[in-house]
Structure 1
Amino acid sequence: MTETLAHKEIDDTAFARLEHEGRLLNPVLKGLTNRFGRVGFRGELALRFAPKLADEARPPELTCDQVMACATIGEKHLPFFAGYLLSFEYLKDVAEVLGDTLSAGGKYFLFCDNIDLSKRYQVPYKGAMFYVLPILESTVYNEMLELLYLEKNELKKKDTGGKLDAVADAAIKFDVTFDTITYSEGLELMGPVRNPNENRPV
């Protein structure tokens, strides 16, 4: 698909503003999936930008990583979004950045590094409901497969768009309920934030 065609598709979806603000970074996928009328994104969502120095483009100060999300052409809300956060606190940043793309009916999953490994929550914020879960399986993709009872081997044959379609289709139907807490209660419950650079080989 040509870049202009990909842009044209994105411009008619809930991704349009995020794309124009330069927030859809390092995409493994950014364009049409195998499902008719669906545009998918897998990559990073920039939450806070570093101040620009002259023309130098600097990496964002804060990102939501391992994002899996989809949008439907002609619709202004994201039906599905999942991503990884180092701290539960950044849920607020995700909600504010996604802003008008969120809806009460959308399914939004955030895997946080500093919440109790035995707990799962629902957190209402900005008119949307976020499922907040610990990260146990090391990647958002694996976590979503586990949560949605999807068989990894069955998805192996699919391309990136097909894998995202399978996860999104199952996620949109997800209707399990967890304990509902407020954002401020979550802030009190969360643990310390891990330094992502520690234990990394230099």
Structure 2
Amino acid sequence: MTATLERKAIDDTAFARLEQEGRMLNPLVKGPTAKPGRIGFRGELALRFAPKLADEARPPELLCTQVMAVATVGEAQLPFFAGYLLSFEYLKDVAEVLGETLSAGGKYFLFCDNIDLSKKYQVPYKGAMFYVLPILESTVYNEMLDLLYLEKNDLKKKDTAGKLDAVANAALKYDITFDTITYAEGLELMGPVRNPNENRPV
């Protein structure tokens, strides 16, 4: 698909503003999936941009990584979004960046590095309900397969967009509930934030 067609498809979805603001980064998928009228995205969502120095474009200060999300052509809200955060605290940034694309009926999953590994929560924020979960399986994709009881082998033959469709379809039907806590309570419960650069060779 040409860049122009891809952009036109995105322009009529809830991704439009995020794309215009340059927030949809490093995509594995960014465009139509096999489901008619659906645009998929797998990549990173920029949450906070670094100040620009002259013409130098600097990397974002804060990212939501391993994002999996879908949007429907002609609809202003995202039905499904999942991603990884180093700290529960950044849920606020995700909610503020997604803003008007969130809905009360959407399925939004955030895997946070600093919450108790034995806990799963639901956190209402900005009119939406977020599932907040620990990261146990190393990737959001594997976590979502585990959470939704999807067999990895069943998805092996699908392309990246097809895998995203399968996860999104199952996520939209997900209706298990967990303890509901407020964002403020989550800040009290969260652990220290790990330095992602520690133990890396210099």
**TM-score normalised by length of structure 2:** 1.00
Aligned length: 202
SS of the residue aligned with 2:77?
coil
Q: Which amino acid aligns with 1:151?
A: E
Alignment of 1:1-202 (within 5 A): 1-202=1-202
Given the two structures, how large is their TM-score scaled by the length of structure 1?
Answer: 1.00
Work out the CA distance in 2 between the residues paired with 1:84 and 1:133.
Answer: 10
CA–CA distance in 2 between the matches of 1:136 and 1:35? 30
- Deviation, 1:200, is 1.6
Query: C-alpha offsets along residues 150-184 of structure 1, whole Å, 9 cap, x if unaligned?
Result: 00011010001100000000000000000000000
Shift of 1:199: 1.3
> RMSD of the TM alignment (CA)?
0.4
**C-alpha separation between the residues in 1 aligned to 2:151 and 2:201?**
33
The letter of the residue matching 2:119 is K
CA distance in 1, matches of 2:19, 2:148: 28
Q: In structure 2, how many angstroms separate the alpha carbons of the residues matched to 1:25 and 1:84?
A: 14
Partners of 2:50 and 2:144 lie apart in 1 by 30
Please list every run of 5 or more consecutive structure 1 residues that lacks an aligned counterpart in the other structure: none
> In 2, Cα distance between the equivalents of 1:78 and 1:200?
36
Question: How far apart are residue 52 of structure 1 and its match?
Answer: 0.3
The AA in structure 1 aligned to 2:68 is: M
| SS state at 1:184 partner | helix
Moved over 2 A (4+): none
